[in-house]
Copies of this chain bind each other. A is one copy, B any other.
């Protein structure tokens, strides 16, 4: 699974691992600085051109009081996919990396896993066997890694993991592998009265412990997939227990459903990068009468990040790329449109 890191020799490695020891809290500073830049160019990591203009043009139209496309601030709802739109999703979804690490961490207490699928596949690093275990296998892995504890305990497990986990290619905490141009975009929209939401296929409680620090998006503005929870008074203390049962899958046709349930009104702008975002973009841009904006991040930069689309295992972009042309959604060519992908570049 490990890809060519391109990070050079040992001294570079040393530097990288020293930098990696910095707290994950760099995120907030980064968004503050992005927000402070709104007096000059609010999107300094975006190259000039049609893509950048489509964004600033839309924002200008909906914020021009008295203009034909003006939208009152409380209706400026913008929704963002997370994996592949705000942070890295290759060589696998970060949450899947978490699951694999967690299974390995719990293995000593579960000696039977050595011979039982899908756990054996994880412990052997046999991703083919893992894939063969299918949805049932994945659900078993979710059950042992995401359920059986309180919501509070799970949040701590996720936070602790994010401090120590490193991306296999970039050797950095995942929370530093967020796209700098998108951080600027989030800050720019908020500076223009937008309320920014995450609408992700990822786990809602996997994201909430860190989205406020990293993206400036508070827990109540995060929509995602979830397992069921049960409220219980235990030893006189109220607790929410996480159960090994799917509650909601916030992907594809689930995204408009999740948006409706959590937000209760239609976004006027939506940002995604894969076929999982198609219905969210349709729901956002093809209904209502006012100005709407749809954007797709197209991963075209194998050097600074990854290049993938129609054939990808994670973040497949096929139907939504065709739909983008038909519906005139903005398609970001990462290689061409972004000055840098990550803050450290």
- Which positions in A face B, CB cutoff 8 Å? 74, 77, 151, 195, 204-205, 208, 212, 218-222, 226, 229-233, 236-238, 240, 247, 253-257, 260-265, 279, 282-283, 286-287
Task: Given A208-B264, A219-B265, verify A287-B253 contact (CB < 8 Å).
Answer: no
Among B219, B231, B256, B260, which residue has its beta carbon within 8 angstroms of that of A256?
B231
In the bound complex, CA of A219 to CA of B240 (Å)? 25
Are A238 and B256 neighbours in the complex by a CB distance under 8 Å? Answer: yes
Task: Given A220-B265, A261-B226, A263-B219, verify A256-B240 contact (CB < 8 Å).
Answer: yes
Q: Which B residues are CB-close (under 8 A) to A254?
A: 231
Are A286 and B238 neighbours in the complex by a CB distance under 8 Å? Answer: yes
In the bound complex, CA of A254 to CA of B231 (Å)? 7
Are B233 and A282 neighbours in the complex by a CB distance under 8 Å? Answer: yes
Shortest distance in angstroms between A271's beta carbon and chain B's nearest beta carbon?
17
Are A279 and B218 neighbours in the complex by a CB distance under 8 Å? Answer: no
In the bound complex, CA of A247 to CA of B226 (Å)? 14
Are A230 and B253 neighbours in the complex by a CB distance under 8 Å? Answer: yes
Task: Given A238-B279, A264-B219, verify A231-B208 contact (CB < 8 Å).
Answer: no
In the bound complex, CA of A77 to CA of B219 (Å)? 11
Task: Given A74-B218, A237-B287, A262-B220, verify A257-B230 contact (CB < 8 Å).
Answer: yes
Are A257 and B283 neighbours in the complex by a CB distance under 8 Å? Answer: no
Are B263 and A220 neighbours in the complex by a CB distance under 8 Å? Answer: yes
In the bound complex, CA of A238 to CA of B292 (Å)? 14
Q: Give 24 CB contacts A-B under 8 Å.
A: A74-B218, A195-B220, A208-B264, A219-B263, A219-B265, A220-B220, A220-B262, A220-B265, A226-B261, A229-B257, A230-B253, A231-B253, A231-B254, A231-B255, A231-B256, A231-B279, A237-B286, A238-B279, A238-B282, A238-B283, A238-B286, A240-B256, A240-B260, A247-B261
Closest to A266 in B: B152
Are A204 and B264 neighbours in the complex by a CB distance under 8 Å? Answer: yes
In the bound complex, CA of A231 to CA of B255 (Å)? 9
Task: Given A240-B256, A256-B240, verify A231-B264 contact (CB < 8 Å).
Answer: no
Closest to A252 in B: B231
Closest to A207 in B: B264
Give me the 7 closest cross-chain CB pairs, A-B, nearest first. A219-B264, A231-B253, A231-B256, A238-B282, A220-B263, A208-B264, A238-B283
Shortest distance in angstroms between A241's beta carbon and chain B's nearest beta carbon?
10
Shortest distance in angstroms between A257's beta carbon and chain B's nearest beta carbon?
5
Shortest distance in angstroms between A297's beta carbon and chain B's nearest beta carbon?
21
Q: Which B residues are CB-close (under 8 A) to A221?
A: 220
Shortest distance in angstroms between A278's beta carbon and chain B's nearest beta carbon?
10
In the bound complex, CA of A208 to CA of B262 (Å)? 11
Closest to A264 in B: B219
Closest to A262 in B: B262
Q: Which B residues are CB-close (under 8 A) to A283?
A: 231, 238, 240
Closest to A195 in B: B220
In the bound complex, CA of A220 to CA of B253 (Å)? 20
Q: Which B residues are CB-close (under 8 A) to A263?
A: 219-220
Q: Which B residues are CB-close (under 8 A) to A256?
A: 231, 238, 240
Q: Which B residues are CB-close (under 8 A) to A279?
A: 231, 238
